[in-house]
Structure 1
Amino acid sequence: MDDYVNKEVVEIDKVIEENQNGAMRRVTTETHPSGPDGSGIRLYGMVAVSFGMLCVLQVALNISHRLESDCLTEERDQQQREKDDFMEKFSNPGWNKFESCWYFVSSERKTWSESRQDCVERGADLVIVNSREKQRFLFALNKRAWIGLTDRETEGSWKWVDGTPLITSYWIIDQPNNGRSVSTFPGEDCVVLRNGQDQPEKTWNDINCAQKHIWICEMCNNNLL
Structure 2
Amino acid sequence: MDCENGADTSTSKRKLCRLVALSFALLCILQATLNISLRLPFYSSDTTTTPDCEAIIKNLTKEEDIKMNELARYIQQGWIYFKHSLYYVSSTENTWNDSREDCLQRGADLVIINSREEQNFIREFKNRTWIGLTDAEKEQTWKWVDGTTPTISFWYIGEPNNVDGGEDCGEIYFYKRENSWNDAPCGRKNVWICEKNL
Report the TM-score when normalising by structure 1. Answer: 0.57
* Cα 1:78/1:206, change in 2 over 3 Å: farther
Paired position in structure 2 for 1:6? none
* Cα 1:218/1:76, change in 2 over 3 Å: same
Q: Calculate percent identity across the aligned residue pairs.
A: 45
| Matched-pair contact (CA < 8 Å) for 2:155–2:182 | yes
1:187 aligns with 2:171: no
Write out per-residue CA displacement over residues 48-94 of structure 1, whole angstroms, 9 at most, x where no aligned residue.
Answer: xxxxxxxxxxxxxxxxxxxxxxxx9xx98995796366224313252
Q: Number of paired residues?
A: 147
Paired position in structure 1 for 2:188? 211
CA distance in 1, matches of 2:97, 2:129: 13
* Cα 1:132/1:155, change in 2 over 3 Å: same
CA distance in 1, matches of 2:195, 2:134: 16
* Cα 1:130/1:192, change in 2 over 3 Å: same
1:168 aligns with 2:152: yes
Paired position in structure 2 for 1:69? none
| Matched-pair contact (CA < 8 Å) for 2:123–2:175 | no
CA distance in 2, matches of 1:192, 1:166: 14
Normalized per residue, which structure has more helix? 1
CA distance in 2, matches of 1:207, 1:78: 46
Paired position in structure 1 for 2:119? 135
1:157 to 138, 141, 145: 141
CA distance in 2, matches of 1:172, 1:135: 13
CA distance in 2, matches of 1:201, 1:87: 29
| Matched-pair contact (CA < 8 Å) for 2:156–2:174 | no
Write out per-residue CA displacement over residues 99-152 of structure 1, whole angstroms, 9 at most, x where no aligned residue.
Answer: 111111001111111101111111111000010110111112212110000011
CA distance in 1, matches of 2:108, 2:132: 11
Per-residue deviation at 1:201? 2.2
Describe the SS at the equivalent of 1:211. Answer: coil
Describe the SS at the equivalent of 1:91. Answer: helix
Report which of the two structures shows the higher radius of gyration computed on alpha carbons: 1
Residue ranges of structure 2 left out of the alignment (5+ in a row) = 1-55
* Cα 1:84/1:167, change in 2 over 3 Å: closer
Counterpart of 1:175, as a letter, is: E
Describe the SS at the equivalent of 1:83. Answer: helix
Report the TM-score when normalising by structure 2. Answer: 0.64
Per-residue deviation at 1:158? 0.5
* Cα 1:85/1:123, change in 2 over 3 Å: farther
CA distance in 1, matches of 2:101, 2:72: 21
Residue ranges of structure 1 left out of the alignment (5+ in a row) = 1-71, 181-185
Report runs of 4+ in structure 1 exceeding 3 Å deviation. Answer: 75-82
